[in-house]
Amino acid sequence: MISRLTDDYERLAHAGCVAVSEPAFWAGFDRGSALSFRDYFRQLTEVEPKRAAQYGIQHFCWLCINAKEAENVALSREVIAMIPEFLDKPNVLGIGEIGLNKNTKNEATIFCEHLELAASRDELILIHTPHLDDKYKGTRMILDMLRNESRIKPERVLVDHAEEHTIKHILDAGYWCGMTLYPITKCTPQRSGGHDRAAWHAAHLREFGGGLGAVEPDGGAGADA
Amino acid sequence: MTPLTAKTALDRSYLETRCKLIEIAANLDRIERGAEAGAAVSDPRLKLIREGLALLNRTDISTADRAERVQKLFSQEYEQTWSAPNAK
């Protein structure tokens, strides 16, 4: 969900934030044309870096058509074809957040086509794993598809929104493992260790034989949607 | 970085865990007191919740992986033989 209040950057700056990484995401509704994505990618690569800079914050972003809109394969292919125009902009980190939402065949097809684009240019990849009861199956499917693309280096991939039942699979495959903290229905701060979050995370990485880990908050308006 | 001791973890989480258990109990009461409770009682989601509660109370689990087990209880099954679009 795109939600950007006029004072968001000011509050981030007051909290000591020096940089943000914004993945391309769903707009809260399914966009009707590739032109909508062109405007969105301009927002991510031109507008937001300038707004963030006014508060001393560096703005980075990831580009893709997200899994929620990947059911529309024709539109997705138009958008993927447009992405290379923007990949060399200075604040673009790579392809993301791609992934699965309901683990459908169309989502998997478009995920693989994003992987193809990323592999052809050796781009970093940020991956969204599904939520709730779709997560375990979707994460395993994503790891299968990554494994099938031999050009992708695991250390250039972050598989995000990991939870207790998916951490080990991600780390064992050599990818960065992201744990996203949400206010209520998903991985809450309490689940991640509350005030001792860092120690909990370190303990999990140790338990799973070490690995690449990241913890990040999801403060978006739809964070628990 | 050193994980918390078990006692410290209990000290910190006791009241919160107690509160959550009471919330679960109240939610189950609310479901069973509700109109047309019979339909809800046979709802597969309620069955999952009861299985999850039973998992928490098992004492034959030697490793501390209750959260993972509960997660898997609420998860769709993964089939290793699914046809990935980029399978070689």
pLDDT tens figures, A48-78: 999 999 999 999 999 999 999 999 999 999 9
- Tell me if B50 is assigned to some domain: yes
The count of structural domains within chain B is 1
- Tell me if B38 is assigned to some domain: yes
- Tell me if B75 is assigned to some domain: no
Q: Which residues contact A185 (CB under 8 A, 6 or more apart)?
A: A132, A224
> B67, A202: Cβ pair inside 8 Å?
no
- Tell me if B64 is assigned to some domain: no
Distance of CA A167 to the CA centre of its chain: 16
Tens digit of each residue's pLDDT (9 = 90 or more) over A6-24: 788 999 999 999 999 999 9
CB-neighbour burial class of residue A105 (10 A; exposed 0-12, middle 13-18, buried 19+): exposed
- Tell me if B21 is assigned to some domain: yes
Q: How far apart are the CA of B51 and the nearest CA of chain A, in angstroms?
A: 15
**CATH 3.20.20.140, domain A1-94, yes or no:** yes
Q: Structural domain of residue B23, as residue ranges? A: 14-56
> B72, A144: Cβ pair inside 8 Å?
no
Residues of chain A neighbouring B75 (CB-CB closer than 8 A): 133, 135-137, 165
Tell whether A203 is within 8 A of chain B (Cβ).
Answer: yes
- Tell me if B71 is assigned to some domain: no
Tens digit of each residue's pLDDT (9 = 90 or more) over B15-63: 999 999 999 999 999 999 998 888 888 899 999 999 999 999 887 766 6
All CATH 3.20.20.140 domain ranges in chain A, comma separated? 1-94
- Tell me if B72 is assigned to some domain: no
ipTM given for this complex? 0.84
Tens digit of each residue's pLDDT (9 = 90 or more) over A87-140: 999 999 999 999 999 999 999 999 999 999 999 999 999 999 999 999 999 999
Residues of chain A neighbouring B72 (CB-CB closer than 8 A): 136, 165
Partners of residue A60 on adjacent β-strands: A21
